[in-house]
Amino acid sequence: MKISRQPTPVTIKIEQKQLENVKCFKYLGCLLTDDGRCTCEIKSRIAMAKAAFNKKKNLYTSKLDLNLRKKLVKCYIWSMALYGAETWTLRAVDQKHLESFEMSCWRRMEKKSWSDYVRNEKVLFRVSEQRNILHEIRKRKANWIAHILRSNCILKEVIEGKIEGRIEVTRRRGKRRKKMLDDLGDRRGYSHLKEKALDRIKWRNCFGRDCGPVV
């Protein structure tokens, strides 16, 4: 599979045997597609998480303490849905899918279907929650990016554009770094972000639990 913005054909042969071209495949539990987007992976993760919720539905909708049930949902259901989320590049449609999944968890837990015409705000009030799933993704991204910036790995070289090769569209150079800065809400530049990553305490203070929503 070749990941590209353009549907260009690719031929790869190993010992005179041509490899099959595919649109998507699973690698280490993640769904990779030839367009490089995360929408299919997010939908797949949400579907698995909903199936896991249904298997233990009697537990999550039981009369156990509310806080305990919420912890169970976040520990088992959210963990399945957000596997690998620190590497996702989210578009507006992806964020809507994730927020819809978040609300479906609380609605199912409270036995309130969409046809009951109960507003999301009321459901969130009943479970003493806010919309947190995008905050959780941003926090995971921040932890992952800090780990990369503190190390000397190939991912850091990719971000900094040090990988050898030809870039066909030069105006896209540096887009990875710009997207990373946008995700973290940092407007002071990549150098400032690298410096901040070296101080773990300062980083946690900037990108802790109360950080803003993911971009």
pLDDT in tens, 4-60: 566 667 777 788 888 877 788 888 888 888 787 889 999 999 999 999 999 999 999
Contact 184, 142 (CB under 8 A): yes
Q: Is the pTM of this model over 0.85?
A: no
* Average pLDDT, rounded, for the chain: 81
Distance CA 111, CA 8 (A): 48
Q: Which two tokens stand for residue 215?
A: 């971009």
pLDDT at 174 over 70: no
Q: What domain count does the chain have?
A: 3
What pLDDT sits at residue 172?
Answer: 54
Range of the domain at 112: 37-131
Across residues 114-140, what is the average pLDDT?
90
Same domain, 48 and 93: yes
Distance CA 112, CA 116 (A): 6
Last residue of a domain, one of 79, 112, 131: 131
CB atoms within 10 A of CB 131: 14
What pLDDT sits at residue 166?
Answer: 57
Listed residue (196, 154, 199, 193) closest to 177, CA to CA: 193
Same domain, 42 and 32: no
DSSP state of 21: P
Distance CA 83, CA 86 (A): 8
pLDDT at 214 over 60: no
- Residue 214 within any structural domain of the chain: no
What pLDDT sits at residue 149?
Answer: 81
* ∠ CA 171-176-180, rounded to 5°: 135
- Residue 213 within any structural domain of the chain: no
Same domain, 83 and 94: yes
pLDDT at 211 over 60: no
Same domain, 84 and 52: yes
Across residues 187-214, what is the average pLDDT?
67
> For 128-148, how does the pLDDT look when each residue is reduced to its tens digit (9 = 90+)?
999 999 989 988 888 888 888
Across residues 168-176, what is the average pLDDT?
53
* pLDDT tier at 95, thresholds 50, 70, 90: very high
